[in-house]
Amino acid sequence: MNVSIVGSGYVGTTVAACLADLGHVVTAIDIDEDVVAAVTDGETPIHEPGLDELVAEHGGDRLRATTDYDVVPETDLTMLALPTPSNDDGSIDLRFMEAGAESVGEALAEAEGGDDDPHVVVTKSTVIPGTTEDRLAAAIAAAGVERGEDFLVASNPEFQREGSAVADFLNPDKLVFGTDDDRALAALRDLYAPLRDAADAEVPVVETGIPEAEMIKYANNGFLAAKVSLINDIGNVCKEFGVDAYEVADAIGLDDRIGERFLRSGVGFGGSCFPKDVGAIISAARERGYDPAVLSAAVELNDAQPERLLGLLDEHVDVRGERVAVLGLAFKPGTDDIRNTRAVPVIEGLQARGAEVVAYDPVATENMRERFPDVEYAESAAAALDGAHGAVVVTDWDEFAALDEEFDAMAEPVVVDGRHVVERRDGITYEGLTW
């Protein structure tokens, strides 16, 4: 198929590269000329394992990039993979999605002749139920094109985790096709046919309505966020009793009603999805008169975990005027994404205490430097620990598990581990957040 994808962020770039790898011809549309040039030259604009190789192989060939929407009518299907950030009240900001939809509509309206089949426009980004039909379809139609005759709409939410997005796309747990039109459904089936043939196992496909597909993504992320906060809550209780929460989690994970995944208690979740999506669905529910208590509690507990981490540090050292190492800045290993990373409130808390913060991350330093230009950034974990009066582990990079003699260079070897990655050892004062 010939596919256009509007937006070349984490989702758009990964989807574009993976679809090209499946044999489709894909054109990425983005307003950022540097991103367009990078993709054209076979370079990825983001850090994601496995993505560099795909973009290098297909960039400039089956994977193309442009700032021009004129390519839209030449493609069979367009995906909207634009940002859906949060407003101050947690509600979803649709400016970018609506602008992209309007541009798609204008490109379709300006096209002369062409295929008689209506163009399929698919919402890939996470949006509140009803958005695709009520807001995005209207934005497309505003250019003078008619839904059903000139264009069709569908929802195809993504379930890709940063750090494993390529693998998640190529071997998904499920595919969700939301549409009320058989023609759009047929297009989605054709789009993913090569993936279903190539996947390591049979891929379940959910064919449903558009608002149901939109809600499935929120339900998915809401459930997982609540599970993370629940195990953190249990972990906090374990800590009060001197119980190792990880031994408890190993045991309860054997119950197939609970499962072993997402039971790593610690400093909390971050990233572009869980905080934003949970906040958006809470806000949308409250607008309709319902307060989702469990989801609200999940957010509240998650927001409190960084301060619990710092509270444990306070028990061992007065950090005012002292050097404190922050190990890990990305919201999770395998990515350079710092959106909603727990490192931000940790650094803010240390600065409020008067500490001299020195931070290290294998790949996310430059992104965090824009957020905290006054923080010292080390070239290695060893350099960050050298002379420090305390250290906090915020991201569970594998290299932190290998630290040993590096702790001997600390002025005061106090280590508070928020991710259960550092081994307790002689010579350091060690505190695990929930163990």
CA atoms within 13 A on the CB side of 153: 25
Coil/strand/helix, residue 113: coil
* Alpha helical stretches, state H, 266-408: 274-287, 293-314, 343-352, 365-371, 381-385, 398-401
Asked whether 84 and 94 are in contact (CB, 8 A), the reply is yes
Beta bridge partners of 65: 28
How far apart are alpha carbons 155 and 171 in whole angstroms? 20
Q: In sequence order, which ranges of 41-156 are alpha helices (DSSP H)?
A: 51-58, 95-110, 131, 137-141
**Contact indicator for 342, 394 with CB cutoff of 8 Å:** yes
Give me the active site residues, please: 273
Burial class (CB in 10 A: 0-12, 13-18, 19+), 370: exposed
Least Cα distance to 242 among 435, 23, 42 occurs for 435
- Give φ, ψ of 47 to 5 degrees: -95, 115
Q: What angle do CA 43, 106, 152 make, to 5 degrees?
A: 85
